Chains A and B, each alone.
Chain A
Amino acid sequence: MYKLELKDVTHVYGARTPFERCALRSVNIGFETGIVTGLIGHTGSGKSTLVQMMNGLIRPTKGTVLLDGKDIWEKPKEIRSVRFRVGLVMQYPEYQLFDETVGRDIGFALRNKGCSEETIKEKVTEAAERVGLSPSLLSKSPFDLSGGQRRRAAIAGVLVMDPEVLVLDEPAAGLDPRGRAEILGYLYRYRETNGATVILVSHSMEDMAQYCDRVAVMRDGEIYADGTTDEIFSDPDRLFDAGMDVPEVMKIALELKKRGISLEGKLYTVEGMRDAVLHALGKGGNR
């Protein structure tokens, strides 16, 4: 059974108005426990709509959303409980910080859930630690933090709920390379320690290649391709067709192939390419 499953979901914005637009058409996709799935697709392909269905922010016009096999919309009044279990980090979440201190902001969801102040304090410290935020920052105003720290605080505000499913819309957008690697590394570790199901939306093919077990490509409101990261990157033309790209390092492998030199391995990451070249040189895959 899937941890989270979207069955035949369709969504129409502005139904029965002149602006009616179908954002998703009969999409079927399931997410297994503990797997990191990358979701890519050009602007307007339906990614954000799909992501907002996962925690019940958007109710599908047609179709069902199942969490542990149970329809999340069975009792619409209880939809709130789903949002504690499926954590959604939206794009540029740092703009949503609002509380007086960073610590209070991170603990907001738990306070809403009715946790004791003691539990909240403990959980907040733990969540801050998970994203590499020093405890000394918890008493500061969110507005005194740097952009990167604010981003971390916002993500901690979702991790604090220990979500079983973590959905992230471009969590590393606008960060420098080191900041990107750090944030994505923390999220990867959250998966490792909590066994959480992770869904990562990104425009960066490099991030997909590095962090995802599986990649789903969306196009015009439909799932255009879906497979393991290996499978998806083994068919670059299909990615180009969907307006996507391959990681820069893989373009080198494709160019070499054109010139009659075929390499084998995970040619979509720098490490994979390095090992493939070493292997071809007869030096073995490890150094």
Chain B
Amino acid sequence: MSHFIETRNLTFEYGGENGERPIRALSDVSLSIDEGEYIAVLGHNGSGKSTLAKLLNLILIPTAGEIEIDGKTVTPEGLSDDEIFEIRRKIGMVFQNPDNQLVATVVEEDVAFGPENLGLPREEIRKRVDDALATVGMTGYARHAPHKLSGGQKQRVAIAGIIAMMPKCIVFDESTAMLDPRGRREVTDTMEKLNRENGMTILHITHYMEEAARADRVIVVSDGKILMDGTPREVFSRVEPLLACGLEAPQGTELLYELSLSGVSLPSDRITVNECADALEKLLSGKQGKTGDV
């Protein structure tokens, strides 16, 4: 069976002009992604995770190896403009800075920008814009000016603009990095909803471990290679390799790990607040009141 996205020995190098040695950002990555997956991508700064995202959207073309997206293979020879646009309609991208992504002076016009460029009939554009704003919970702001919205709201408008293009997959390249806690929650909730209710494939690149723990699958990129690939539970229970590549585990997992270093026996594969609380409750119940009597 073929996958929605498949990379085979995907490699990307930049630089290398004027006889300089090129720098390898991504090295021999082979990876497959199915439709409807919700994946978090983690990696230190300069690990190659953003390069991977840009290859999926054909902002970059591989320098070696290939990438197959929905049956279309991209090689270092590249594709025609028409073919590139076809793939970009399938894979949308939301970037880090909300202020760099909004183009219009009214929210609904901004969301309509993509569909208008597809040359769709007026009624269809209207319907897509309304549906997209409803999906991200911004219907009430349709006539507002984007620059007066909060960061989380701006990102949701940017997401609506992508949804209106009806892509199969959205790549979020650190789209929560500049937001306050509420904004981050709004955006991650939206991602989860798009995946669970609309079956959209989600790739979320982030430095926040708690956000990554919400995905179904976590891919860790380090020095241009895939270091780990598994469920959040599998990946986050390996605290030491995570720390070694400049990352961390969610705080709860780290707490249990720290406690086990202190000689307390606890499971290492608990990642959510409730799971960690369960483990600690089991450990502590009955011990209350014993405090200080040693």
What B residues does A58 contact at CB under 8 A? Answer: none
A283 touches B262 (CB 8 A): yes
Q: Assess whether A30 is interfacial by the CB under 8 Å rule.
A: no
B177 touches A252 (CB 8 A): no
A177 to B44, CA, bound (A): 8
What B residues does A44 contact at CB under 8 A? Answer: 150
Partner of B182, one of A243, A271, A287: A243
A249 touches B246 (CB 8 A): no
Of A49-57, A99-107, A230-238, A274-282, the one contacting chain B is: A274-282
A178 touches B276 (CB 8 A): no
Find residues 230-287 in chain A having any chain B CB closer than 8 Å to their own CB.
243-245, 247-249, 251-252, 255-256, 259, 261-262, 270-271, 273-274, 277-284, 287
Q: Assess whether B224 is interfacial by the CB under 8 Å rule.
A: no
Chain B's closest residue to A284 (CB) is: B294
Determine which residue in B180, B182, B247 has the highest number of CB atoms from chain A within 10 A of its CB, and name it: B180
Chain A's closest residue to B179 (CB) is: A203
What B residues does A271 contact at CB under 8 A? Answer: 258
B45 touches A146 (CB 8 A): yes
Known: A43-B183, A176-B45. A270 touches B290 (CB 8 A): no
A256 to B263, CA, bound (A): 21
A252 touches B180 (CB 8 A): no
Interface range on chain B (Cβ under 8 Å from partner):
35 or more
Known: A274-B255, A274-B262. A176 touches B181 (CB 8 A): no
What B residues does A251 contact at CB under 8 A? Answer: 273
Q: Assess whether A162 is interfacial by the CB under 8 Å rule.
A: no
Q: Assess whether B248 is interfacial by the CB under 8 Å rule.
A: yes
Known: A274-B258, A282-B290. A174 touches B277 (CB 8 A): no
B284 touches A282 (CB 8 A): no
A242 to B212, CA, bound (A): 25
What A residues does B151 contact at CB under 8 A? Answer: 43
Q: Assess whether B254 is interfacial by the CB under 8 Å rule.
A: yes
Q: Assess whether B96 is interfacial by the CB under 8 Å rule.
A: yes
B293 touches A248 (CB 8 A): no
A256 touches B280 (CB 8 A): yes
Q: A148: shortest Cβ distance to chain B, in Å?
A: 5
What B residues does A203 contact at CB under 8 A? Answer: 179-181, 184
Q: Assess whether A27 is interfacial by the CB under 8 Å rule.
A: no
Chain A's closest residue to B285 (CB) is: A261
Q: Assess whether B152 is interfacial by the CB under 8 Å rule.
A: yes
Q: B81: shortest Cβ distance to chain A, in Å?
A: 30
Q: A198: shortest Cβ distance to chain B, in Å?
A: 21
A173 to B97, CA, bound (A): 12
A248 touches B251 (CB 8 A): yes
A176 touches B207 (CB 8 A): yes
A173 touches B262 (CB 8 A): no
A interface residues, tally (CB under 8 Å): 44
A261 touches B246 (CB 8 A): no
Q: Assess whether B210 is interfacial by the CB under 8 Å rule.
A: yes
Q: Assess whether A115 is interfacial by the CB under 8 Å rule.
A: no
A179 touches B252 (CB 8 A): no
Q: B279: shortest Cβ distance to chain A, in Å?
A: 9
A205 touches B177 (CB 8 A): no
Q: Assess whether A213 is interfacial by the CB under 8 Å rule.
A: no
Q: A144: shortest Cβ distance to chain B, in Å?
A: 11
Q: B147: shortest Cβ distance to chain A, in Å?
A: 11
Q: B248: shortest Cβ distance to chain A, in Å?
A: 4
Q: Assess whether B60 is interfacial by the CB under 8 Å rule.
A: no
Chain B's closest residue to A203 (CB) is: B180
A243 touches B273 (CB 8 A): no
What A residues does B262 contact at CB under 8 A? Answer: 274, 278, 283, 287
Q: Assess whether A206 is interfacial by the CB under 8 Å rule.
A: yes
B252 touches A148 (CB 8 A): no
Known: A248-B273, A255-B274, A284-B294. A261 touches B45 (CB 8 A): no
Partner of B291, one of A41, A146, A259, A282: A282
Find residues 241-294 in chain B having any chain A CB closer than 8 Å to their own CB.
246-248, 250-252, 254-255, 258-259, 261-264, 273-274, 276-277, 280-281, 283-285, 287-288, 290-294
**A-B CB proximity, top 7 nearest:** A178-B246, A249-B251, A255-B277, A245-B181, A248-B251, A282-B294, A176-B44
A–B Cβ pairs within 8 angstroms, 26 of them: A43-B151, A43-B179, A173-B177, A174-B96, A175-B207, A176-B44, A176-B207, A177-B209, A177-B248, A180-B207, A203-B180, A244-B180, A245-B181, A248-B210, A248-B250, A252-B251, A252-B255, A252-B280, A256-B280, A262-B288, A270-B251, A274-B259, A277-B264, A280-B284, A281-B284, A282-B293
Contacts from B to A (Cβ < 8 Å): 43-47, 96, 150-152, 174, 177-184, 207, 209-210, 246-248, 250-252, 254-255, 258-259, 261-264, 273-274, 276-277, 280-281, 283-285, 287-288, 290-294
A174-B178, A287-B262 given; 4 more Cβ-contact pairs under 8 Å: A175-B45, A177-B209, A274-B258, A277-B280
